[in-house]
Amino acid sequence: MFRDAGLVAGKDLRVELRSRVTTQQVAPFAILVLILFGVALDPDRGILTRASSGLFWVAVLFCSLLAIQRAFTIEAADGGRDALRLSGLDPAGIFLGKASAIFVQLVALEVVLAVGVLVMYGTEVTGVPLLLATCLAATAGLAAAGTLYGVLAAGLRVRETLLPILLLPVLAPVLIGATKAFEAALGGVAADGWPWFGLLVTFALLYTTFGTLAFGPLLEES
Amino acid sequence: MTTSSPATRALGVVSLGGLVLLLAFALVWSPADIVQQDSVRLMYVHVPTAILAFAACFITTLASAMWLRRRSEGWWVLGGAAAEVGIVFTAICLLTGSIWGRPTWGTYWDWDPRITSTTLLFVLLVGYLALRRIDNEAGDAAQRGMRGAVVGLLLVPNVMIVHYSVDWWRSLHQTATITRLDPSIEGTMLFTLMLGIVVFSLVFAWLLVHRFRVGWLEERVGATGLDQAIVDRRAEADVPVAAGTGT
């Protein structure tokens, strides 16, 4: 299973590396979202600094939608999904592989966004371990739930519009948990953030488990 | 063709009679609250619809799980029927809550944990029904069922995670509590509330049965429609041949 996951993740990341969609389109979009927030919310009143945790994670959510759509669009061309089904790879492995590839891309995007937030919003970091742990746990949850709902919507004509309405309410707890943990890590008391980290880990484990179980039958039907 | 039977007609009569009785109790016979005055009467709609909205989610998840086990059409139809009736009850719950909030809290909307999680529940149901609708148009029963069943199965877990995280989120910095309903309600008010729960449960069951039957008939039309089209097509092809051999 893990060997298959590695193969699928390697394939997806190679596709991304060669096509450069993440670096040339999604990452600039992420920065653009930060600029739009800056324009929409008065930059002089300190709103941006105070709201930077929430804004960061909203930007990550938008980017994750793009990354998830992309992860399944690349299979749509040339019967890629049929090839994947016929490949004999373990469906659980395919799920973990696709989720890992999304995870890696999102972490890279978060680094870009974090630099953007620190530079443009003037946010100060007080708890680095909590910040890193939150990023990893929240991103694992986003990638697992995103891959599961992504394959659900993948075969449908209206997938671009359906995925956000299916996925975003489900990700609301991740947004809440990650924002609260970030607030603690960015200028707050780090100890307040760790329980939220627990919530994020629980979410990630839940969706990884469920996704591993459900991905096979879903892939058959997409 | 009708979706009613003697049993559901009786259920309908009892539901409607119950609603009339509830109206009398809620608007006339029960007293106004000392603090909230007449606005407390919204409780007799608000609380039952909230309970039934969550009950509908449980039915959808249960039906999805049963569909995954048995693959029978009935469970598939039940999941959708419960979600559809549930979304109506969720909307009524949110609407009455908002109207009630205005005189009681001084605002139509507050980022109270229950309002937030109920709103997210509403959106989750919208997503589930949107997926089912698309799947219904997409193709045959076995293919479309899986997606809907997985989202339906995840409905209650999602509602629970959302509920607890929102609860936790708001309880952290909302120490000043808003004027809540006095938990120790008694007498006529308590009776009216209980009556409301019973009556709305009957209405819920009545709507659910009918929605289920409509859904079931839709399935039949879908199935027989195809058969009929094949028969028609064959008949069309037969006519010239028969005419040709005849002359």
Residue span of the structural domain in which A168 resides: 2-221
| Residue keyed to tokens 């943990």 | A181
Q: How many domains does chain A have?
A: 1
Per-residue pLDDT, B138: 59
pLDDT digit string, tens, across residues A45-59: 778 888 889 999 999
What span, in angstroms and rounded, lies between the C-alpha atoms of A23 and A154? 23
Which chain B residues touch A214 with a CB distance below 8 Å? 150
Q: What is the pLDDT of residues A140-172, one digit of tens each?
A: 999 999 999 998 888 777 888 889 999 999 999
Name the token pair of B7. Answer: 């049993």
Question: What are the residue boundaries of the structural domains of chain B, listed by start?
Answer: 42-175+185-240
pLDDT recorded at residue A222? 62
CB burial of A52-89 (b: ≥16 within 10 Å; e: otherwise) equals: bbbbbbebbbbbbbbbbbbbbebbeeeeebeebbeeeb
Mean pLDDT of chain A: 88
Interface predicted TM-score (ipTM): 0.87
Which of B191 and B1 is assigned the larger pLDDT? Answer: B191
Summarised one tens digit per residue, pLDDT across range B126-154 is 999 998 888 766 555 556 678 888 899 99
Mean pLDDT throughout B222-236?
80
pLDDT band at B239 (very low <50, low <70, confident <90, very high): low
CA dihedral angle for residue B204, residue B205, residue B209, residue B210, rounded to 10 degrees: -40
**Quick check: B134 and A156 CB within 8 A?**
yes
Give the residues across from B37 on adjacent strands: B33
For residue B243, is pLDDT > 60?
no
Phi, psi for B37 (deg, rounded to 5): 55, -135
Which residues of chain A have a CB within 8 Å of the CB of B128? 166
Which residues does B117 contact at the CB level (< 8 Å), separation at least 6?
B159, B162, B163, B166, B167
Of A166, A168, A221, the CB nearest to B143: A221
All residues of chain A having their beta carbon less than 8 Å from the beta carbon of residue B166 are 172-173, 176
Q: Which residues of A touch B158 (CB under 8 A)?
A: 169-170
Tokens of A120: 């443009």
Min Cα separation B212/chain A (Å): 24
pTM (two decimals): 0.86
Residues B16-47 have pLDDT tens digits of 999 999 888 888 888 777 777 777 888 889 98
Q: Which residues of B138-173 are buried (b: 16+ CB within 10 A; e: fewer)?
A: eeeeeebbbbbbbbbbbbbebbebbbebbebbbeee
Nearest to B165 among A177, A206, A214 (CB): A177
DSSP string, A158-209: THHHHHHHHHHHHHHHHHHHHHHHHHHHTTS-GGGTHHHHHHHHHHHHHHHH
